Structure 1
């Protein structure tokens, strides 16, 4: 690799690191340096792709090291959160932490010996949205660059807009350039051709001006190998993401979803109405296989009992992250709600550890564990 790498376990090598195609059958990816550098448009060879489910095997988890330009005086606290998440996940699968030039040593020191640090310029910590979406293509693994634009120009993104291309160059993975603007957090799939999306986060003039929902749906289906898209209204303009799906509805198995619902004493606000609207959609929905969708409610904590604060605080347990052997769940300080969320996740994932992590500063920035992580499919090296 060309970039600075602090490598203690030797997970990363110039020749590769256990990448396989998505799914049980497997398919060893080919490396196309020219395609990785310049990119193909989505219309070229887009058929035959598949976006896998998060519970499928991972080669590793990708994260990003936050910068002072975004976090200011809160930087030490948010870096503590990210270092904790990275080190905890590294107990189950390899973790690569992207850090800007000059930040590598600090990232390596804080994240610890089990986390690999790679030099890629970043602005912020939200790897779910800036790292490419990885799909199984006709010739193996591909990275889909969704043209990150700072969630519709809401935040500085000079470096984050280049993370997808830089990552794919660094790791020799072919790049596919989408003809739309979206983020990884706006997409949720069962791995069997069903896609969940909020309309507010994609059919929005700040990402895709002048484009209809039907047009964008057709592009998503071809780009990601989907057979059915289920749309939710979402919420426009109330948070930086315009209401990503990964804090509202998540698949935990084919035909089964967890739905974020208000906790005790929650107001009847736009978020409560968004949850109710999502429930109304799901109650009559079927997936790509025509299976009815089972909805399991995952209530938020009581805001009077949580540790965090701030208008942007994200108290959604639905923003969990599934890794090899474990599910990482945000913990907010409402003991009853935290325990209930752990029990619900354990019931859905009986063979995985449910690992709670306190992320008060990350949550105060409007995100969660899922927002801060991105899975690279494949088998980890021994």
Structure 2
């Protein structure tokens, strides 16, 4: 089993030689020769966060249901690869009642579950080096308490003895989608937004490219203020491989629905774009579920917010049998050789996210 001690031994020479573990360095990931890896590449493990905040989830049973759902996701992913759950040690006894024995618990305090946004973001150099890149999480523009969540990435970097590169960007990894080679797609609403970054679009573009180790960014407008994330791209469109992206949208635009208008706008922009290699993007549509179990204005019914782990794709179903089956078939076609596992994650959907939002991969090097 890979342990924290062995991880520290395998940390990059730069981290060991000149930088205190967990301390952010002004050099960027791209300048140091690092980049995000494809999510489909082999993983060392998955990181998740244990939700505990009553300020976020209230005093009723909702938090219990969210914790049960996070445990279900973690136990499912753990069938395919190791899982680390981050939480303050005081919550371990409660969490252990729900988590499988093989899931590691690290003493890293959290408020909420969104490991994609506040958790560790790893980068590789293609030579066996592993480091982290910093997003300076600020609670989606100060919309939610984040005293602990804002420190998760730094604390994990310290435990693992990894360099933490920092381009000065403020935001969340769920707000950009990377093909693992050189191309990013993102909504401006999540980044070119004064609640996160004060600079102009050109400066923010540069910081995103530096953070991911990318060469080209395809922007679409998105929607500001309609949800806590300001419309993260990973709820709408995802790369399955370089040059190919899935996008979830209805058959026809609904002019009265801002989400529908934004989805079609993003589709048109991506359809007209080329990636960093100069190739046109192939777009594959996922259906929009209609007759679903979930309710509420913030409910996210996103098939595209799935997680790719070793040997499997973990996705959500929503109770629309026809759409659920179609989505599963499309995912199976796009990820041959991987088991497609569909879960009921409605409590997480009610909280405004999905399985991809709740997970973050550590690539194997």
Query: What TM-score range do you get, normalising by the shorter chain?
Result: over 0.9
Q: 1:363 aligns with which of 344, 349, 362?
A: 349
Residue deviations 1:69-121, cap 9 Å, x none? 22232111001100000000000000000012310122222111121111101
Q: Does 1:65 align with 2:50?
A: yes
Residue deviations 1:281-332, cap 9 Å, x none? 0111111111110011112201xx2111111000111101111100011111
Mapped to 1, the partners of 2:310 and 2:273 lie a distance apart of: 29
Q: 1:140 aligns with which of 123, 129, 148?
A: 129
Please name the residue that 2:95 is paired with: 107
Please name the residue that 1:313 is paired with: 299
Q: Does 1:338 align with 2:324?
A: yes
Mapped to 1, the partners of 2:63 and 2:285 lie a distance apart of: 34
Give the superposition deviation at 1:265: 10
TM-score of the two chains, using structure 2 as the length reference: 0.93
Q: Does 1:36 align with 2:21?
A: yes
Are the structure 2 counterparts of residues 306 and 265 from structure 1 closer, same or farther at C-alpha, using a change threshold of 3 Å?
farther
Give the superposition deviation at 1:17: 8.5
Retained in 2: the 8 A contact 1:132–1:184? Answer: no
TM-score of the two chains, using structure 1 as the length reference: 0.89
5+ long unaligned stretches in structure 2: none
Q: Does 1:86 align with 2:74?
A: yes
Residue deviations 1:111-133, cap 9 Å, x none? 11121111101010000000132
5+ long unaligned stretches in structure 1: 1-9, 20-27
Please name the residue that 2:3 is paired with: 12
Are the structure 2 counterparts of residues 280 and 103 from structure 1 closer, same or farther at C-alpha, using a change threshold of 3 Å?
same
Please name the residue that 2:38 is paired with: 53
Q: 1:162 aligns with which of 139, 142, 151?
A: 151
Mapped to 1, the partners of 2:274 and 2:168 lie a distance apart of: 28
Mapped to 2, the partners of 1:45 and 1:79 lie a distance apart of: 36
Give the superposition deviation at 1:205: 0.3
- Aligned ranges 1:209-220 → 2 under 5 Å: 209=198, 211-220=199-208
Mapped to 1, the partners of 2:356 and 2:250 lie a distance apart of: 19
Secondary structure class of the residue paired with 2:97: helix
Q: Which moved more, 1:320-329 or 1:47-56?
A: 47-56
Mapped to 2, the partners of 1:250 and 1:376 lie a distance apart of: 18
Mapped to 1, the partners of 2:309 and 2:29 lie a distance apart of: 31
Q: 2:257 aligns with which of 262, 269, 272?
A: 269
Please name the residue that 2:141 is paired with: 152
Q: 2:112 aligns with which of 124, 142, 148?
A: 124
Retained in 2: the 8 A contact 1:126–1:372? Answer: yes
Please name the residue that 2:188 is paired with: 199
Mapped to 1, the partners of 2:123 and 2:36 lie a distance apart of: 5
Mapped to 1, the partners of 2:8 and 2:210 lie a distance apart of: 28
Mapped to 2, the partners of 1:264 and 1:222 lie a distance apart of: 37
Mapped to 2, the partners of 1:17 and 1:334 lie a distance apart of: 46
Residue deviations 1:10-69, cap 9 Å, x none? 4424222997xxxxxxxx734726342322014587242221111111100000000142
Mapped to 1, the partners of 2:282 and 2:5 lie a distance apart of: 44
Please name the residue that 1:347 is paired with: 333
Retained in 1: the 8 A contact 2:121–2:132? Answer: yes
Mapped to 1, the partners of 2:180 and 2:29 lie a distance apart of: 22
Mapped to 2, the partners of 1:160 and 1:221 lie a distance apart of: 24
Question: Which segments of structure 1 move beyond 4 Å, counting only runs of 4 or more?
Answer: 263-267
Mapped to 1, the partners of 2:32 and 2:176 lie a distance apart of: 19
Retained in 2: the 8 A contact 1:58–1:376? Answer: yes
Please name the residue that 2:364 is paired with: 378
RMSD: 2.0
Q: Which moved more, 1:134-143 or 1:260-269?
A: 260-269
Give the superposition deviation at 1:262: 3.0
- Aligned ranges 1:181-192 → 2 under 5 Å: 181-192=170-181
